[in-house]
Amino acid sequence: MTLVAGVDSSTQSCKVVIRDLETGALVRSGRASHPDGTEVDPAAWWRALNEAVEAAGGFDDVAAVSIAGQQHGMVVLDAEGRVIRDALLWNDTRSADAAAALTAEVTAEGYAQRAGLVPVASFTATKLRWLKDNEPENAARVAAVALPHDWLTWRLLGYGPAGESELGPVLEALVTDRSDASGTAYWSPFTNDYDYDLLERALGRRDVVLPRVLGPGEAAGKTPAGVLVGPGAGDNAGAALGLGAASGDVVVSLGTSGTVFAVADEPSADATGTVAGFADASGHFLPIVVTLNAARVLVSATTLLGVDFDGLSELALAAQPGSDGVVLVPYFEGERTPNLPTAKASFHGLSLASTTRENIARASIEGMLSGLGAGLDAVRDAGVEVGRVLLIGGAAQNPAVQAVAAQVFDAPVVVPEPGEYVADGGAVQAAWALTGARPSWEVSVSASPERDFRPEIAEQYHRYADALLK
């Protein structure tokens, strides 16, 4: 049996799956936690990767591996390959002013036409601009800029600071892929290359090493132990590969952030910034809408109501669709789409009669999904033909979430079996790099809730959410 491995280095943890090359069957897996926070020492990711690999039984019998990971995080290295400062993660909003400044300088239309997106605080370019403006001494030391999956792949290949790695600080050995590069705001899905003018506008200079962009299925090299290493991917592109997403499939992922994305044949350029025109990991494109507030909304609701997730589901299913007019605008941590980095969450429509535990439970789920429903509409407006919605993430298995999704999304909803689809996408990449062909592994479905579209849920949500934009 030939084995391949996939890695998901996410915000919260590192997951490793090891699968049979022939059938895709899961053989074993491992996991390790990441520290909390919006800035993290990348060394914590490296430790977690090694712990997760060990928990998965090691790579001694593994032929190939590929790492998918959280996008946008700014990893800056000096000339000796050392990390200059803790990485600023995608959910760090301190660069909101930098994003506004970059957009004003280039214009939203200019960015959309050149990079397929409009800067918000999540993207790497805005973090580099923040670094230049707020930590000029650190900015002056930058010799290379990498993303989380790029840096981990580099370390896995044996590179790193002198004394901490077998091959030393060869910055030119850094590699990435189209999907992750497209989330930097200085790479173009139209030219398939870096835009160094945009990089210079962000960092103030262009004389830095950027990772070489590998094509789908292209190998990055081998580990010192001889394991083939695939190109890696951004987490959403990895999930699309793991799910086998094809034209007509829109993936809605309920994780720390919420995402709506689809595989498309052509790049998109949305000057409103609602849809980011990313590339995918298969040679196509991945128009995507991202919200900062997803599954954590439900965590807050369970804490508020003093119940577990099953209890939240029972309460929500006991309320009527629309929650008797109660609406939660769930911008607990600010919001990325719409671009409201300093916003807070708010309840609306509360009366003495409607303020019940059941309505609050249901409004929490409706609010979370309505923000993503707006994302589905935006992806459709970008030209995507929506055949079905694939609902993934731990919260997708909640019965109330499934029922409300069938009422909020104007498309059939399918819930795949729980799985580590980002890590699975890494395993697909590993198999692709090993054999030269993308594998086709079956994905099982756990639920297909009956379609029950209720447009009034979105209408009352937007009555309050849209007011924040005025």
Which residues are the active-site residues? 235
Token output for 141: 């030391």
Greatest Cα pair distance, the chain, in angstroms, is 68
Say what the alpha-carbon torsion angle 378, 428, 283, 178 is, to the nearest 10 degrees: 80
Beta partners for residue 286, in sequence order: 278
* Residue at token pair 């909003």: 93
Structure letter (DSSP) for residue 279: E
410 Cα distance to chain centroid = 23
Contact by Cβ (8 Å): 114, 191: no
- For residues 133 and 355, what is the distance between their CA atoms, to the nearest angstrom? 47
Token output for 296: 């954590």
Contact by Cβ (8 Å): 278, 179: yes
Cβ atoms within 10 Å, residue 222: 14
Which candidate, 144, 219, 117, 145, places its Cα nearest to that of 177? 219
Beta partners for residue 16, in sequence order: 7, 30
* Residue at token pair 């029922």: 403
Torsional class of 185: left (φ above 0), alpha (ψ -120 to 50), beta (otherwise): left
Token output for 97: 């002013």
Torsional class of 325: left (φ above 0), alpha (ψ -120 to 50), beta (otherwise): left
Torsional class of 24: left (φ above 0), alpha (ψ -120 to 50), beta (otherwise): left
